[in-house]
């Protein structure tokens, strides 16, 4: 009896093709959908620096170098020009207040001084001569007035007496008239002489006053000339250390030229040049610190010089409390100058990566530690040790902080070997 054979639904060949097709589609799905197309670069672990992101206290500061200088320095400038004739002390010595340092000689000033003295003596003689002449003229006028008073008094008596005699017709009228005319003449002459005397007195006082004023002015000018001549001898304005003296025997010095300086040794301060980038962030009262002889000493900004030269401006910092023992003028100090207050932040150690990425991205190591991928970040404030992380990283994550210069610009993933 015949048996009906059932036809198989799938043959081996068909199953093979199905498996091949499924594998092909799976491969395409993995390659085009799930595949990793990032540009990779193999790096050796011993050639990179790995640092951990952490949360901690952040202090923004900048490192600067300051020089120790005296609190007060007095500069010695030439008040008058001249040739250096003599040096009394040498640079580096201690000088007392008023001590002579050097002497200049100026022939023109000396001749001018002699001429002024001669003019003063001549004007003084003129004043005496004019005073004597005026006094003599006054005596002559007074003598004339005295004589006129006598004549008027005598003629008045004669006039009154002859007037009575004429009324009694004892004398001739013509004699009376002559006496009257002479009396009136001397009386009018006295009035004229008196006006002349008053006018001459006023003129005499005015002239003497003018000559005296001229004499006083010339005397004041003479004192100024003497002071200028005295300025040719340079003296120390205060007790201190003569740190420099730029003058050699026979050398010509111009007026206003710097000759040296005296440092007052009652304390020191620190002069610090700062990059002009920080000009708007530097204020009086800000703090800094430095290490000296294995100790840390605080400093405070006391003065700011806002003028910018060669991309820098200067500040003065004073010591808080006692200054370090053994510190000397001209010594350099490495100072940490604070720019802000302490705060808590996510911190990233500094490294060479910043030169390549500009702080815009960094290579973040995954949890397996086998590779690192490019991660966008945002950095804020910084100091010489760390950056403040504003976005893109969390505490505990690890990143590559060494230089990226050899990685190129299109590397997305670093495979750690």
pLDDT at position 230: 87
Looking at the fold, whether 206 and 249 belong to one and the same domain comes out as no
Domain end call among 323, 339, 355 = 339
- Length reported for the chain: 417
Give the residue from 206, 230, 254 where a domain finishes: 230
Which pLDDT score is estimated for 125? 84
* Straight-line distance from the first to the last Cα atom of the chain, in angstroms, rounded to the nearest whole number: 74
Residue 132 belongs to some domain of the structure: yes
Domain shared by 67 and 134, yes or no = no
| 230-269 pLDDT, tens digit each | 888 999 998 888 988 998 899 999 998 999 999 888 888 9
Rounded mean pLDDT, 99-122: 87
Do 321 and 351 belong to one domain? no
Say whether both 179 and 260 belong to one domain. Answer: no
- For the residues 151-173, what does the mean pLDDT come to? 83
* Token duo for residue 124: 């003084």
| 73, 338 Cβ separation under 8 angstroms | no
Are 244 and 305 part of one and the same domain?
A: yes
| pLDDT band, residue 173 (cuts 50/70/90) | confident
pLDDT of residue 36: 52
Which residue, among 107, 101, 99, has the nearest Cα to 81 in the 3D structure? 107
Least confident interval from 59-73, 217-231, 294-308: 217-231
Q: How many domains is the chain partitioned into structurally?
A: 3
pLDDT at 37 over 60: no
CATH number of the domain to which 70 belongs = 2.40.30.170
Residue 31 lies in a domain: no
Which residues 6+ apart lie within 8 Å of 339 measured at CB?
A: 60, 61, 62, 278, 281, 286
* pLDDT bucket at 5, cuts 50 / 70 / 90: low
Distance, in Å, from the CA atom of 136 to the CA atom of 130, rounded to the nearest integer, reads 10
Mean pLDDT for 271-297 is 91
Q: Quick one: what percent of the chain has pLDDT higher than 70? A: 92
> In this structure, what CATH number is given to the domain that contains residue 355?
2.40.420.20
Same domain membership, residue 218 and residue 161: yes
Examine the domain organization and report whether 272 and 192 are in the same domain: no
Q: What is the pLDDT of residue 4?
A: 54
Whether residue 115 is found in the same domain as residue 264: no
Does 297 map to a domain? yes
Q: Are residues 117 and 224 in the same domain?
A: yes
Q: Over the chain, what is the mean pLDDT? A: 84
- pLDDT > 70? residue 77: yes
pLDDT of residue 33: 45
Same domain, 119 and 162: yes
Inside any domain, residue 7: no
Question: For residue 180, is it within any domain?
Answer: yes
For residues 358 and 320, membership in a common domain is answered with no
The band of 27, judged by pLDDT with boundaries at 50, 70 and 90, is low
pLDDT the model gives residue 333: 93
Could you tell me which of 346, 350, 347, 324 has the C-alpha nearest to residue 335? Answer: 324
User: Does residue 408 sit in the same domain as residue 353?
Assistant: yes
The verdict on residue 320 lying in a domain is yes
What domain range is 359 assigned to?
38-59+343-416
Residue 2 lies in a domain: no
Per-residue pLDDT at 1 exceeds 70? no
* Between 26 and 178, residue with greater pLDDT: 178
- Please report whether residue 218 resides in a domain: yes
> Which of 295, 324, 339 represents a domain boundary (last residue)?
339
């Amino acid at each position: 009896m015949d048996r009906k054979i059932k036809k198989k639904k799938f043959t081996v060949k068909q199953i093979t093709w199905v498996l091949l097709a499924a594998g092909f589609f799976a491969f395409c799905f993995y390659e085009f959908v799930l595949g990793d197309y990032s540009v990779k670069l193999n790096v050796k672990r011993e050639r990179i620096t790995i640092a951990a992101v952490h949360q901690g206290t952040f202090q923004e500061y900048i490192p600067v170098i300051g020089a120790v200088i005296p609190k007060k320095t007095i500069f010695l400038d030439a008040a008058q020009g001249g040739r250096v004739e003599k040096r009394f002390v040498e640079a580096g010595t201690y000088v007392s207040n008023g001590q002579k340092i050097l002497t200049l000689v100026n022939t023109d000033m000396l001749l001018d001084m002699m001429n002024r003295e001669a003019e003063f003596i001549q004007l003084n003689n003129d004043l005496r001569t004019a005073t004597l002449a005026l006094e003599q003229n006054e005596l002559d006028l007074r003598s004339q007035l005295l004589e006129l008073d006598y004549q008027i008094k005598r003629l008045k008596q004669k006039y009154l007496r002859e007037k009575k005699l004429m009324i009694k017709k004892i004398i001739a009228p013509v004699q009376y008239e002559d006496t009257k005319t002479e009396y009136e003449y001397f009386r009018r002459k006295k009035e004229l002489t008196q006006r002349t005397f008053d006018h001459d007195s006023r003129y005499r006082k005015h002239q003497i006053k003018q000559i005296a004023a001229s004499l006083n002015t010339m005397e004041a000018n003479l004192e100024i000339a003497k002071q200028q001549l005295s300025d040719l001898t340079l003296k120390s304005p205060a007790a201190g250390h003569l740190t420099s003296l730029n003058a050699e025997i026979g050398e010509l010095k111009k007026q206003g030229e710097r000759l040296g300086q005296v440092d007052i040794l009652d304390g020191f301060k620190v002069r610090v040049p700062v990059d002009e980038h920080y000009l708007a962030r530097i204020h009086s009262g800000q703090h800094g610190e430095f290490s000296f002889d294995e100790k840390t000493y605080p400093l405070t900004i006391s003065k700011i010089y806002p003028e910018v030269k060669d991309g820098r401006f200067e500040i003065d910092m004073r010591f808080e409390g006692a200054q370090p023992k053994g510190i000397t003028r001209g010594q350099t100090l490495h100072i940490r100058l604070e720019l802000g207050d302490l705060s808590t932040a996510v911190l990233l150690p500094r490294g060479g990566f910043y030169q390549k990425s500009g702080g815009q991205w960094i290579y973040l190591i995954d949890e397996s530690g086998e590779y690192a991928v490019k991660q966008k970040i945002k950095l804020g404030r910084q100091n010489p040790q760390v950056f403040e992380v504003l976005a893109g990283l969390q505490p505990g994550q690890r990143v590559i902080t060494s230089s990226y210069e050899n990685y190129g610009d299109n590397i997305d993933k670093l495979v750690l070997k």
